[in-house]
Structure 1
């Protein structure tokens, strides 16, 4: 059981040992779960992403970084960054890189990419980050996570998953050599990890994924666990609107993981004040395909061993994608 000095009014390890966490299961899928998500995916695949590449913004870590925009469901135009090999060599691999709650204001720490000669799109999903702002959608995590929660059709999390699918379409439109099944990899942390678990089971274009401290796992359990992240906003809302659980059942990352058959590396933390570890491990435990677990001492928390966790994750990520996509 992880233990750190902290001033949170709750235990970010939630009293669980690693063995306890390895035993957390996923809620059963509600009626029509798979059909709901496949329908959302098919609608996203019908969208012409029409990506547009902006000027060069940076060059580092062996890559060139450009701004990029593309179209997602509902005709929403979103922005982000396009990462290309700096030497101009042919693109041999492709990645979609999701972000944490709060969005991204710059490409951030997701570079270098796990494989050489790779291109990646780092999208800002709707409502998140300066390049993802959309009128009417809150840009603060505590309000964003509640937007449209009255029904499964209007809940913003479903459209955010579609933004990832459309980002994949944009990457393949730019690089037709990446078209086809299993040609793309996915990286997502926290919010992006949960979105990845929701989006990837239905999209055959992805051959492997890495999810770091994924959120949205086992909502019934999450609703009982205080935290410092967006889940606390959902907990507060649920107290006044208990019917929200019926919508949340369709957006449970652990439930979706039961349909995810692509090789997946999950980095899950023993101690995390923002995304309760039981939910993170629920996602890993439910995975239906080849899976690999990297246990982190802590997530969303500065600690003495953070550098070691980051280094271990980087090495695991390179080896994992080298094994599954580097052939």
Structure 2
């Protein structure tokens, strides 16, 4: 398809005014303080996945509300001393999947933790974590779940899980807690932006970098005006019948918008964007990138959509890991 968003020169300058609630920081400070009242209770149970050179573990830790959240941990077997670690967050509808999907990063000598997503995991990857907080009318997947109140919104629970996941990884005896990197694409990119902004506010050893590929949930109102693809189409469909809810829903979304998290995140970051992306439109990615407060770089794929660079971007990840960990 042809480019449908702003020309590249305008995208590079695109930095819209942030729509942010006045109590944004208080809301998240209170949310995380509430979550930390529950014991983290991180458990790492080794499982035999058949990989002779890797240690593979089934992980459970306490997320939002003390709810049990699952994950995988993979790390090289024959290594002495504590390892750097990558915490990965998954795209929309996915879960932690199978261990065989995550062998690349530990093959590079880095521990890899993959967080399962509460209530998701029936889409492109399987998952095993329930969401006890489900409630209220919503359409389709997760984007409108609890959307009429920030306190009830689905992503309040999910973003809190993401911060607790960093704590769980740092508690592992084989991990160096001072060398943890965050990573995610699409919905995972939204989660990564939130964790990059929120983790340093509550965790003794903040993560040291973040990879944010084609982030979802950034500059949301514009996204709904540009595309009618899932997941943003869930919002459009929701508003067709709940017309009175539009402004209240967008007010809720302002507590979760990646642009507002980006403005608070100072970790060195690698972003990517596909200029043909009709799921997370380029201008919404640039809005988050240009608002990002830390050291940053952006890899642009002019002829790619939501897949952005695919395996080429995987190579960029590895180069970024090496550069950050070599500092």
Which among 137, 140, 143 is matched to residue 142 of structure 1?
140
The 5-angstrom pairing of residues 4-15 of structure 1 reads 13-15=3-5
- CA distance 1:207–1:260, shift in 2 (3 Å): same
Which among 5, 10, 32 is matched to residue 20 of structure 1?
10
Please provide the CA RMSD for this pair: 2.6
TM-score (structure 2 length as normaliser)? 0.85
Q: Could you tell me whether the CA contact under 8 Å between 2:5 and 2:282 is conserved in 1? A: no
Partner of 2:226: 225
Partner of 1:216: 217
SS at match of 1:58: coil
TM-score (structure 1 length as normaliser)? 0.85
Partner of 2:38: 47
Residues 124-174 of structure 1: CA deviation (Å, up to 9, x unaligned): 121122222234639x99332211111111111011011111111111222
Mark the runs of 5 or more structure 2 residues left unpaired by the alignment: 122-126, 201-205
Q: Could you tell me whether the CA contact under 8 Å between 1:68 and 1:79 is conserved in 2? A: yes
Partner of 2:292: 287
Q: Could you tell me whether the CA contact under 8 Å between 1:49 and 1:167 is conserved in 2? A: no
Residues 103-123 of structure 1: CA deviation (Å, up to 9, x unaligned): 222246554128843222211
- CA distance 1:263–1:49, shift in 2 (3 Å): same
Mark the runs of 5 or more structure 1 residues left unpaired by the alignment: 5-12
SS at match of 1:216: coil
The 5-angstrom pairing of residues 100-179 of structure 1 reads 100-104=91-95, 105-107=97-99, 109-113=101-105, 116-129=108-121, 130-135=127-132, 137=134, 142-175=140-173, 178-179=176-177
Q: Please report how far the alpha carbon of residue 45 of structure 1 lies from its aligned counterpart in structure 2 after TM superposition.
A: 3.9
Greater RCO (Cα-Cα under 8 Å, separation 6 or more): 1
Q: Please report how far the alpha carbon of residue 60 of structure 1 lies from its aligned counterpart in structure 2 after TM superposition.
A: 5.2
Matched residues in 1 for 2:37 and 2:63: separation? 10
Matched residues in 1 for 2:168 and 2:139: separation? 26
Q: Please report how far the alpha carbon of residue 46 of structure 1 lies from its aligned counterpart in structure 2 after TM superposition.
A: 4.1
- CA distance 1:212–1:109, shift in 2 (3 Å): farther
Residues 20-65 of structure 1: CA deviation (Å, up to 9, x unaligned): 3223224242212122223323333443221222342435596333
- CA distance 1:120–1:88, shift in 2 (3 Å): same
- CA distance 1:269–1:150, shift in 2 (3 Å): same
The 5-angstrom pairing of residues 170-249 of structure 1 reads 170-175=168-173, 178-179=176-177, 182-204=178-200, 205-239=206-240, 240=243, 241-242=245-246, 243-249=248-254
SS at match of 1:117: coil
Q: Count how many residue pairs are aligned between Structure 1 and Structure 2.
A: 308
Q: Could you tell me whether the CA contact under 8 Å between 1:212 and 1:268 is conserved in 2? A: yes
Residues 266-319 of structure 1: CA deviation (Å, up to 9, x unaligned): 011111222222212211111111001011232335xxxx7xx23431222122
Partner of 1:7: none
Matched residues in 1 for 2:36 and 2:132: separation? 24
Is 2:264 the partner of 1:259?
Answer: yes
Partner of 1:97: 88
Matched residues in 1 for 2:263 and 2:106: separation? 26
Matched residues in 2 for 1:45 and 1:117: separation? 31
Partner of 2:275: 270
